[in-house]
A and B are shown apart, each in its own frame.
Chain A
Amino acid sequence: MHEMSVALSVVDQVERAAQARGVPGVRQVRLEIGELAGVVPDALGFCFGLACAGTVLEGAELTTRSVPGRASCAPCGRTWDTGMPPDMVCAGCGAGATELLAGRELRITEVHWADRPGPTAHPRAPHPEEL
C-alpha cells in the first residue's frame, strides 16, 4: 500500500504552499484521483489523517473527486469510457487507443486555508522512547 507515501506527498506540498503564503491552518484539501491512477481513495483518506498530525494541516478534511478513464481513437474519432479493468481497444475499428484523455490524474486541485490552526495543531511531542 503506497497510499501513505502519497498522503505524505500531499501534506508536504500543501505545507510548502501554506508556508509560502504565511497561512496558519488548512481547512480542506481537494484531490482528483483518476480511476487508473492506482490509488484507493478510502485508504488515502485514512493515511491523510495520520500524515497531517503535527503539521499545519492538522484537522484538515480531504475530499476526493474520482475521474473516470476516457480514451480516444484518432483514426475513427471515437471516444469512450475505458471502464475498470480498462478497455484500451477501440470498439469501432479495433485499433489501440491513440490517447488516454483522462483517468491517470493524481493531483491536488484546491486548498481551502483556515484563519486559525486546526484544533490540535502543534508540533508532535516526542514519544518517550525517542528521547
Chain B
Amino acid sequence: MCRVVDLRQAVLAKNTLAARVLRDELNARGTTVVNLLSSPGSGKTALLERELRLARERGVAAAALTADLATENDAVRLARSGVPVKQVLTDGLCHLEADLLAGHLHGWLPEDTRLLFVENVGNLVCPASYDLGESLRVVLASVTEGEDKPLKYPTAFGLAQLVLVTKSDLAGPAEFDETAFRAHVQQVNPGVEVVLSSVRTGAGAGVLVDRALAAAEGHRVHAPVMARAEA
C-alpha cells in the first residue's frame, strides 16, 4: 500500500517567511534594506564604497554587510567610507538566506540605521532565489561582461528592481553595446531602470543612495513581472 498526500508546499516557503518577518521588523524601526547582486569582479564593492561615502556626506545613516566565501578584504575597503560595516564569511555557501542575515544583524545593526546595503556573495545564480527582506534589489553588471549577460542570467536580471552598469568608463575599449544591453534587460524585465555608473569618472554617483531613499520614503519601486508570480 502506498498513501499519497497532496502536500502543495513552496520549497522556499521558510525563507520567504523569514524574509517577510525581517522586512517588517526593519521597516518598523525605520531601516530599509538594499540587496546587491552581481557576478564576481563586477565592481560591487567599489561602487558601494562610493555610495556609502556619499550617504555619510549627506547625513544619511547607512550601514553595510558584505558576504564572501573567504577574506575580510571587502569589509576593510567599505569601512574606509566611515559607516558601520560587517563582513560575513559564508564558509563556502554561495548565497545569503534571510534567517542567516537576520542572525548577523542581531546585536550589530545600529538602531538608527536608515539604509542597510547588503553586498551578496558574487554570484548571479543562487542569490537570485532568496529574498533577504530587501525593499530594493539591485543587479550590477560591468561593461566588460558582455551585452548578453541579462539573457544568460534571466532570473537575476528578471527580478531586479534597478540595474546598474558599472565601469562605464571602459565602455569604449570593451566595445560595450549599450543599446543591445538595454534591449536584453527589457526583454527579461520590461520597465526596469538601467543606470550607467563609473567610480572612476563619477558617472551615476549617488544613484544607489537616491533610489534607496526613494524606496525608504515609500515611493513606488519597480515590480518585475517575474516577481509577480512567486509560487
Number of interface residues of B (CB under 8 A): 43
Docked Cα-Cα span, A15 to B115, in Å, equals 39
Name the distance in Å between A71's Cβ and chain B's nearest Cβ. 7
Docked Cα-Cα span, A115 to B3, in Å, equals 9
Q: Which of B55-63, B138-146, B172-180, B186-194 contacts A (4 or more CB under 8 A)?
A: B186-194
Docked Cα-Cα span, A2 to B12, in Å, equals 12
| Residues 121 to 166 of chain B near chain A (Cβ within 8 Å) | 125-126, 128-130, 150-152, 154-156, 158
Task: Provide the A18-33 mask, 1 if CB < 8 A to any CB of B, else 0.
Answer: 0001010001000110
Are A112 and B4 in contact, with the CB atoms below 8 A? Answer: yes
Task: Provide the B105-130 mask, 1 if CB < 8 A to any CB of A, else 0.
Answer: 00000000000000000000110111
A81 at the interface (CB under 8 A from B): no
Are B11 and A36 in contact, with the CB atoms below 8 A? Answer: no
Are A107 and B152 in contact, with the CB atoms below 8 A? Answer: no
Name the distance in Å between A5's Cβ and chain B's nearest Cβ. 7
Known pairs A9-B15, A86-B158; list 12 more (Cβ under 8 Å). A1-B94, A2-B130, A5-B126, A10-B11, A38-B128, A86-B154, A89-B190, A95-B190, A97-B190, A97-B225, A111-B4, A115-B1
Q: Contact residues of A with B, CB < 8 Å?
A: 1-2, 5-6, 9-10, 12-14, 17, 21, 23, 27, 31-32, 34, 36-39, 71, 84-89, 95-115
Q: Contact residues of B with A, CB < 8 Å?
A: 1-15, 93-95, 97, 125-126, 128-130, 150-152, 154-156, 158, 186-191, 225-226, 228-231
